[in-house]
Amino acid sequence: MAFPLSRAAMQPCRLTVDDLACRRGDRVLVRGLRFVAGPGDALHLAGPNGIGKSSVLRVLAGLMRAYAGRVEAIGTIALSDERLPLDGHRPLGQALAFWRRIDGAVDTGDRFGLDDLADVPVRYLSTGQRKRAGLAALAASGAGIWLLDEPLNGLDPHWAGIAQSVIEAHRAGGGIAVIASHQPLALAQLAVVSLLDHVPAPDILP
Amino acid sequence: MTRGGSALGRLWLIFRRDCAALLGGARGRGGATLPLLFFISVAMLYPFGVGPDARLLARTGAGVIWVAALLAAILPLDRLVEPDVEAGFFDQWALRGLSEEAVMLVRIVAHWLCFGVPLMLATPVAAALLSLDLTQLGRLELGLLVGTPGLAAIGVMIAALTAGLRGGAALGGLLLIPLAVPMLIFGAGSLQPGGEGGLALLAAASLVAVAIAPFAAGAAIRAARE
């Protein structure tokens, strides 16, 4: 399914990761991570549960410090993770409008089928509906670099397909997508980084 | 690409959202009315406890109101910051380039509006229940006007420090009391005859709290991410 591009022109964005190591508590999860992503690129951070996919995303987002190495992002970053930054008591339409106003976003259309849910308080949404709401907030943010943590979790095959086509549309508009997922993704020209290859050997743990 | 308006415009949106969230019983944890009811209840119960002697009430009542205000400040602690940490709001604001300090300052103002101002509005009722005269009421209101911003600031700071901790709410109450004691001492002290100096010290203590709290709270939010 093709969607109209949300933006005619997006500022060129770039994400450079050089020799990144990422620590959680006193454990080094990942080291030696290296990649460069430019406009239109998509990167799949793959690996089993607990390997550090979410932590790497948070380091890329600048929310956590890199243990070693360097992350350089040109362009604005948006993150969608397992949390839903929407007020639970507010109707979904209003809760999403809060972020649209903060971002000064243009209405990108109802790509996630949320218009029917606009009057439903956020706390009554199902798992899949919550995920769709989170992705809609991300998509409306207008950011060039999308960091997605398990974007397909809880989505049925139909909405999983839509979510991936929205990511494709973002890429076609010059955006970057970095996707942490244990699931296979059906995206074109997807660079896969297996975090298993970057787990430090036990003897070099600090 | 263009994103959003100015930082001030965004903070104004956040301020309005904070006020709505703090005023209403939005998150199933009681809204701004709960501390208010608690505050009034103390003023209502105190005469039952010490007897209806108007002179005794008038002499001690203003101090009781200060104690009630301090304890009422504990009630909203668990919903000041923690729900937004859990839902990832602070991370989203950080991604949009808004500093934690600015967001926290906004939250202190919103909390004061939803906590301090209602308390001041309820104080005449409490004063009537405790047989305070108009002069005392005037001084009390002045003291609350100066002191409640400090209480609000300390509340937000402690809420940020304890967000995400198990038993954070109980811990928050314990942490707030010692920090708020200067307010209580100077606030109640300003009610004594010739206690104008107390008011100045109360203002100073309040100002220090308001000045420090956004930075401490912001640092707490950042530290909790690691």
CA distance A30 to A194: 11
Is residue A2 within 8 Å of residue A47, measured between CB atoms? no
pLDDT at B24: 76
Closest Cα of chain B to A90: distance in Å? Answer: 8
Task: Output the CA angle A33-A34-A37, nearest 5 degrees.
Answer: 130
Q: How many Å apart are CA A200 and CA B187, to the nearest integer? A: 58
The rounded distance, in Å, linking the Cα atoms of A179 and A205 is 27
> What is the torsional sign of CA A20, A22, A26, A27?
negative
- A18 shares contact with chain B (CB less than 8 Å): no
Q: What is the pLDDT along chain B (226 residues), one digit of tens a residue?
A: 345 568 889 999 999 999 988 887 555 556 788 899 999 999 999 999 998 888 899 888 989 999 999 999 998 898 899 999 999 999 999 999 999 999 999 999 999 999 999 999 999 999 999 999 999 899 999 999 999 999 999 999 999 999 988 777 788 889 999 999 999 999 988 888 777 888 999 999 999 999 999 999 999 999 988 8
Over the stretch A113-163, which tens digit does the pLDDT of each residue have? 899 999 999 999 999 999 999 999 999 888 999 999 999 999 999 999 999
Interface probe, candidates A11, A63, A122, chain B, greatest B C-beta count within 10 A: A63
Alpha carbons A38 and A14: distance in angstroms, whole number:
5
Alpha-carbon distance B226 to B215, whole Å? 17
- pLDDT at position B219 is 95
At residue A205, the 3 state secondary structure works out as coil
Burial class (CB in 10 A: 0-12, 13-18, 19+), A44: buried
Contact A21, A33 (CB under 8 A): yes
Contact B13 A98 (CB under 8 A): yes
Q: Specify whether the CB–CB gap between A133 and A122 falls below 8 A.
A: yes
Cα–Cα distance, A203 to A188 (Å, whole number)? 38
Which residues touch B72 (CB under 8 Å, ≥6 apart)?
B35, B36, B38, B39, B42, B115, B119
Q: CA B219, CA B213: separation in Å to the nearest integer?
A: 10
pTM, whole model, 2 decimals?
0.90
> Within the 73-112 window of chain A, which residues sit less than 8 Å (CB to CB) from chain B?
75-79, 81, 83-90, 98-99, 101-105
Distance from the Cα of residue B181 to its chain's centroid: 13
Judged by CB atoms closer than 8 Å, whether chains meet at A89 and B87 is answered as no
Which tokens in the block code for residue A180? 């942490």
Q: How long is chain A?
A: 206
Contact assignment for B96 to A103 by CB distance below 8 Å: yes
| Two tokens, residue B151 | 């209480």
Phi, psi for A178 (deg, rounded to 5):
-115, 120
Residue B1 to residues A8, A138, B25, B156, Cα–Cα distance (Å): 10, 15, 38, 34
The whole-angstrom separation of Cα A118 and Cα A100 is 14
Which is higher by pLDDT, A179 or A204? A179
Which residues of B are less than 8 Å from A77 in CB distance?
95
Asked if A143 is an interface residue toward chain B (Cβ–Cβ < 8 A), one would say yes
* Chain B CA closest to residue A174: B1
Q: What is the pLDDT of residues A30-83, one digit of tens each?
A: 989 999 999 999 999 998 888 889 999 999 999 999 999 999 999 999 999 999
Q: How far is A169 from chain B (nearest CA, A)?
A: 16
Closest residue of B to A103, CA-based? B4
Contact assessment for residue B157 and residue B180, using Cβ atoms and an 8 Å cutoff: no
Q: Give dist(CA B24, CA B31) in Å, integer.
A: 5
B196 lies within 8 A of chain A by CB: no
**A vs B: CB pairs below 8 A:** 75
